[in-house]
């Protein structure tokens, strides 16, 4: 059973009516690397409960669209937002753009996906890496040339090796541990800018 650490960012998110404290990770990434812009069409993999969607839909504005996919049932709290579509879908099952109800490739892919953890480090690291590999697998079909990627990674030697092999797919590739990430956490984010296709 999980529990919520009621730290500074948890309280701030509650006060500012965000659905999760993760909002501050994407906000910091976006302020530093400018991954999102007005009018963008964005896919958010593992969006639930939806604080990244709340942030993204404000930045992209009414001309933009953010599509969320998660294995959890859709969060009805997001359904009133005009520039948002959410689906109950496993990233391993997504086949094409049509099933996401879009007709062109995305400008940005963001993924905060995290597997169900077992507590066995090597198993959890492998599950996390499977999710990362799936995002990179989808990139040629889903991300337009010049598009950006933000992806959460649980650190491991295998993940580092895999990311090294992917880095040339983007013109620039950055690693960031946002301030709001708990200091004990092994997670960091990879930001790929300008997908070469």
Ligand X SMILES: C[S@@+](CC[C@H](N)C(=O)[O-])C[C@H]1O[C@@H](n2cnc3c(N)ncnc32)[C@H](O)[C@@H]1O
How far apart are alpha carbons 88 and 46 in whole angstroms?
A: 10
N-to-C CA span, the chain: 41
Any contact of residue 100 with ligand X (CB under 6 A)?
Answer: no
Please tell me the chain's helix, strand, coil percentages from 3-state DSSP, rounded to the nearest 5.
35, 25, 40
- Give the interface segment with ligand X, choosing from 32-40, 66-74, 156-164, 189-197 (CB under 6 A): 66-74
Contacts (CB under 6 A) with ligand X, residues 124-163: 131
Any contact of residue 90 with ligand X (CB under 6 A)?
Answer: yes
Q: Pick the catalytic residue: 12, 104, 152, 186?
A: 152
Nearer to ligand X, 97 or 194 (CB): 97
- Give the interface segment with ligand X, choosing from 48-56, 98-106, 172-180, 184-192 (CB under 6 A): 48-56
Is 37 annotated in the active site? no
Sheet holding 41-45, edge to edge: 84-88, 65-70, 41-45, 106-111, 143-154, 187-195, 170-176
Catalytic residues: 152
Residue ranges binding ligand X (CB under 6 A): 19-20, 22-23, 45-52, 69-72, 90-92, 112-115, 131
């Amino acid at each position: 059973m999980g529990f919520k650490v009621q730290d500074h960012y948890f309280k701030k998110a509650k006060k500012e009516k965000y659905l999760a404290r993760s909002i501050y990770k994407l906000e910091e990434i976006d302020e530093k690397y400018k991954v999102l812009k007005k009018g963008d069409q964005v896919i958010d993999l593992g969006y639930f409960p939806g604080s990244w969607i709340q942030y993204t839909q404000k930045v992209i504005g009414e001309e933009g669209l953010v599509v969320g996919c998660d294995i959890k049932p859709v969060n009805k709290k997001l359904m009133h937002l005009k520039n948002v579509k959410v689906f109950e879908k496993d990233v391993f099952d997504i086949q094409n753009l049509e099933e996401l109800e879009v007709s062109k490739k995305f400008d940005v892919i963001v993924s905060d996906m995290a597997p169900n953890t077992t507590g066995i480090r090597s198993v959890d690291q492998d599950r996390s890496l499977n999710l990362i590999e799936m995002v990179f697998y989808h990139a040629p079909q889903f991300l337009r040339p010049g598009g950006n990627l933000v992806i959460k990674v649980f650190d491991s030697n295998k993940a580092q090796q895999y990311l090294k092999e992917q880095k040339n797919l983007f013109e620039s590739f950055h690693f960031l541990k946002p301030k709001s990430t708990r200091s004990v956490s092994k997670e960091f984010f990879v930001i790929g800018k300008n997908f070469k296709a």
